[in-house]
Chain A
Amino acid sequence: MPRHNTLPQALAFLFCLLLASLVPAPLHAAQITESDMPPLPQEEAEKVIARLRLASEQTTSMRCRFIQEKHLSIFARTIQSEGILTFRRPDALRWEYTAPVASGFVMQGGKGATWSKAGGTLHRTELKESREFAALSQQIMLWLAFDEVQLRKQYTLDVLRASPAVLRLVPHNEAMRFFLHSLTISFVPDDSVAREVRIQEAAGDSTVLRFSAPERNIDLPDEVFIP
């Protein structure tokens, strides 16, 4: 099977999709089972996408908790982690794992860093050293702004259910598809936030993110986003 690239876009794709769903989420998470459903007719789908865009535009900042489950063949069991996500328009983001290992990344205005305290040692890397993360930040901001035009250029947007909305995104780019098969986002009934994101990788691995304790349109100090 031919292997297609590309690393930066794949990473960017992953994160932009994650963050697309991270307008504040409800506490009650439910298992998504809609990913295999047939998409709704186009006319109905357009109405749902317009609704989601409108809801996204009404969020200027947010903070929420998340629980992440990774099903990777490299691991013997499902790996669970948790953390906090913080976002402020137009370009500030903090993605922080609090358990089992403190790690994460932060970015603001194109600058940023990643860190990890695995084994008690702090590993820190500036984002400017990585074009992967540079590309990623652009994608994230694109998604948080819900730039529908750009999104449609890069992904096929399928609406699997109208209410509560379920959106499936499939990358156009064959290189991206090497890493990612699809991403399914389930929203809460009022469309304001996503409640769950399922990332289905091409190799069969998957990641599920469940969001909780959302706080919308809050004041977030700059220090939160300092790399």
Chain B
Amino acid sequence: MNSLSAQCISWIFSKKKAVLLFFAALFALFGVSVVNSPPKEDITFFLPDNAQLQQQFQAFSLTPPARLIFIELLASSPEKAELFGEAAQKLRHALDPSLFTAVHPGRQLPEASALMGLIPSLMQPENEVEFSAAAQKVPLADRVLHLAARLMSHESIVLKHFIPHDPLGMLRILFARFSQSNLLGKSGTGGAAGGLPALGALPMGEGLPSKDGLARLFFVETPNKGMDSAQAQQITEALEKVKKVMPQGISMQALSSHQHTAANVRAVQGDVACILIASSLALIVIFMIWLRSFAALPALALPGFALLGAWGILTLSGAQLSGITLGFGGVLLGIVDDYALHVHCAIAAGVAPKKVAKTLVKPLGFSFATTACAASVMFLSELPGMRQVGLFSLLGCAVGLALALFILPLLQKAKPPTKETLSCAMQTCEETTIAPLPYMAFLCCVALCLWIGKDLSLQGDLRNLGVRDPVLVQAEKEIGSRWGSGFRQSALLVSTGASMDEALTLADAALQAVQPHLVSKGIEGQLISPLPLIPPPVKQDASRALWQRFVAQTGNELHRAFGPGGQAEAAGFAPQAFAPFLHQLDTPPDPITPGSLDAAGMGLIRALFLPQWTSVSGSGAKEEKYAVLSFLPDDQTLQGNVQASVPQGTILFSPTMIAQQISQTVERDFAAMGAYSLLAVSICLFLALRSLQGFMLALVPPLAGSAALLLVFGLGKEPLNMFTVAALPLVIGLSAEYGIFMARHCAKEDCPSTPRAILLSGLTTLTGFGSLVLAVHPALHSLGVTVAVGIGAAIPASLWLLPRLAKKREFL
């Protein structure tokens, strides 16, 4: 290896300008590819490889909170509630139609004729009995007088729009079904008021009313994708503008996935600014204290090029880089700066630039091997994102090593050799022994940490891995308390079909399948479903048959009562006053479709429950489908029997189940990665040192780093997440590097510049990437905590503890 590296370096030095030019061109290419392929936030990167799970997650994109924007208007006092009409009007005008394509409930008053058109398909036997009884001569006479009396009162201004279509009050059937759908949860739904029964139960133009009357809720459709940061930002800014047009006394709050994305983008941008400032300042301080030479600048810049190289290679190969993966670039930089600082320190200590590769190729090679082995462990993960982090780290380290050994020396000037350097070159390997008792004590401490950390909790809920903007959290809490948090905290049943009829039939079968579970838990009343308002075709047909029987039995009596010359005319009504109702009796009823709900002013039902879905199969083929959504209380018991009972064509998406599966994966990964990386690193250490005692000493920093992580996470009760898990092998790999260098140093195989290089690289890693602790974004913060704790423990373990566990104590 040494002779090969010597030949390489000799050739490179002979073609210095050409090599530098080549690398400049190569990195320019990487730069261009990186600019043209920005990282993408795709949460499915962090979903385990499981076709069912992936499909469930696709279904999640159909939930109202993922698709729609919830807008709530709040009155500061009961008196201000009268301004809701004005506020709703301003809201509609202020929403840019290019960004907000539909507002529900619509501004139209429900059309009486369209609403009545729904009744035949909703009729039940008890309705037939009730209205057949009401359609007898005596009750009809009473009814006619009652209607006339009501129309004399102030109610006439509204009633006159409905009574000609519905003199019997059959719309009650629809209002009951609306309540049954559970759409409004805890919200208020107005009632009978001696006027039209529960007209207030229908969505009205000024929004859905809360029970206390002090809030109104709207659902807004947008073509902008919630996961696209630019589009999310656009929506968030537009909503902020709308807030400003509200009349005094009415405030507005909005909830959407766009705002969460925008909050995360803002947090990451803020974090990056904060971290860059903090780490730059820290690096300047380190530079001023220890390096004080412009010759060190290329060494400090090298990790950035390694990062660019890894990123460029991946994007040129067509891979879509996750933003989170890039965040791990921080750890990668922390690893790669070690190579650069070792080379720089060696040259600063007098090793000739041409000879530095030969001198350091072995320790740096083994150092790379340990990191590579640790990173390779990530390929075993079930999470695609974790595997990408592994590949990214591996590539970054390889590029960093190549740059450190072969390019960095080209940019460094030779220094006169020091005495230490000369002695270093002449030294031969000596056997290093360990001090048994201190080493046993150290192992006991590690075991204690292992015991403390044995019950670490695991965070599998993906929602907790993003920034939770306090304003949004508060809004979510308030809206949940007023309207119920049904959509957000429910499991979702998505029934899909090539036609709406097929989807409705499947949805009905699915609800019947889960019904025993709901009944057994006493939560059947918490089901949220559109089926009471748009039943499957078979049930609609049965209802229409009842309607036709009702018409056949009572039609003549109703014509006599409400037609010309009948009781209604005798009570003062115009001869044609009830023509719309009588016309409906004589017309064959139509089935209920999403279109008929729209026409009846109930487009909200379609928007919430009946979306169209482009499903993507495992092979990537896309298929347009009709979907019907239902929501049921989510808990762990859905797994197993309930999940198995759901008919084919229906997907059960349970956030609890998914969190559980991810937690299990993270748990498996944490144990496997910890164990495998320690094993892989151990093999590398042993091969590098070829001495049991040296190996045991080199193991001290990774053991200390891992133990510190277990201790801190165990005592702090901070849950492990996938970012902690992903950082673990890298921390072990990086700590093992310190171990190799220090063990060789103890054995006097290495240069005296080693402790200084370790201290510097450790400090740069800590200051540069431990500063991620300051990050607001949970992913970056977790990463920062892991690096800070792991490397923070590994540095003193390398520089202070390791020499004291060895019998030779000639360090620092």
Taking beta carbons and an 8 Å cutoff, which residues of A are in contact with B? 2-12, 14-15, 18, 68, 70, 72-77, 79, 81, 95, 97, 100-101, 103-105, 114-116, 118-121, 123-135, 138-139, 142, 150, 153-154, 172-176, 178-180, 199, 201, 203, 205, 207
Contacts and interface: CB of A to CB of B under 8 A. Distances in A.
Interface in B140-158: 141-143, 145-158
Contact of A4 (B108, B149, B157): B108
Contacts of B247: 153
Contact of A14 (B147, B157, B160, B192): B157
Interface in B169-226: 188, 190-195, 199-200, 204-206, 209, 213
Given A10-B158, A130-B190, A142-B79, A4 B573 contact: no
B157 A176 contact: no
Instruction: Please name the 6 residue pairs, one residue from A and one from B, whose CB atoms are nearest each other, closest first.
Output: A130-B193, A129-B191, A5-B205, A119-B142, A114-B194, A118-B149
Nearest to A103: B149
A121 B191 contact: no
B193 A132 contact: yes
A179 B145 contact: no
B158 A138 contact: no
Contacts of A127: 193
B714 to A, nearest CB: 54
A173 B89 contact: yes
B154 A15 contact: yes
Contacts of A100: 149, 152
A123 B155 CA distance: 15
B158 A11 contact: yes
Interface in B352-400: none
A119 B206 contact: no
A142 B79 CA distance: 8
B411 interface: no
B153 A103 contact: yes
A35 to B, nearest CB: 18
Given A9-B85, A142-B82, A79 B572 contact: yes
A124 B191 CA distance: 13
B574 interface: yes
Given A3-B109, A9-B82, A138-B81, A179 B157 contact: yes
17 contacts: A3-B108, A3-B111, A6-B85, A7-B158, A7-B199, A68-B152, A73-B574, A74-B151, A77-B572, A81-B152, A97-B149, A103-B152, A119-B146, A124-B194, A132-B200, A175-B109, A205-B156
A101 B149 contact: yes
B598 to A, nearest CB: 14
Interface in B71-130: 78-79, 81-86, 88-89, 107-109, 111
Given A10-B158, A97-B152, 9 more contacts: A101-B149, A105-B194, A116-B153, A120-B142, A123-B194, A142-B79, A175-B89, A175-B107, A176-B85
A105 B194 CA distance: 9
Given A6-B206, A139-B82, A75 B574 contact: yes
Contacts of B39: none
B272 interface: no
A191 to B, nearest CB: 25
Contacts of B81: 135, 138
Contacts of B190: 8, 129-132
Contacts of B194: 105, 114-116, 123-125, 130
Contacts of B89: 173-175
Contacts of A75: 148, 151, 572-574, 577
A12 B193 CA distance: 13
B204 A134 contact: no
A98 to B, nearest CB: 12
B594 interface: no
B710 interface: no
Q: For A123, A125, A134, which residue has the most chain B Cβ atoms within 10 angstroms?
A: A134
A123 B146 CA distance: 9
B149 A12 contact: no
Q: Which of B147, B153, B199 has the most CB of A within 10 A?
A: B153
Interface in B706-736: none
B305 to A, nearest CB: 63
Interface of B: 78-79, 81-86, 88-89, 107-109, 111, 141-143, 145-158, 160, 163-164, 188, 190-195, 199-200, 204-206, 209, 213, 247, 569, 572-575, 577
Contacts of A119: 141-143, 145-146
B573 A76 contact: yes
Nearest to A176: B85
A11 B154 contact: yes
Contacts of B574: 73-76
User: Mostly helix, strand, loop or mixed at chain A's interface?
Assistant: mixed
Contacts of B213: 131, 134-135
Contact of B109 (A6, A104, A130, A134): A6
Contacts of A105: 194
A207 B192 CA distance: 24
A76 B575 contact: yes
B85 A76 contact: no
Contacts of B143: 119
A72 B205 contact: no
Nearest to A180: B157
A138 B195 CA distance: 18
A74 B146 CA distance: 15
A76 B204 contact: no
Contacts of A15: 154
B145 A118 contact: yes
A133 B108 CA distance: 21
Contacts of B147: 118
A91 B779 CA distance: 57
Nearest to B146: A118
B109 A72 contact: no
B146 A116 contact: yes
A172 B86 contact: yes
Contacts of A173: 85-86, 89
A6 B204 CA distance: 7
Given A5-B107, A134-B213, A118 B150 contact: yes
Question: Which of B85, B88, B160, B209: most chain A Cβ within 10 A?
Answer: B85
A118 B148 contact: yes
Nearest to B205: A5
B114 to A, nearest CB: 11
A134 to B, nearest CB: 6
Nearest to A178: B109
A5 B109 contact: yes
A216 to B, nearest CB: 23
Scoring B157, B158, B199, B200 by chain A CB atoms within 10 A of each residue's CB, the highest score goes to B157
Contacts of A4: 107-109, 205
A72 B164 CA distance: 12
Given A7-B200, A79-B152, A130 B195 contact: yes
Nearest to B92: A174
A180 to B, nearest CB: 7
Contacts of A70: 151-152, 156
A131 B205 CA distance: 14
Contacts of A123: 146, 194
A153 B111 contact: no
Given A72-B160, A125-B193, A130-B191, A14 B154 contact: yes
A128 B148 CA distance: 24
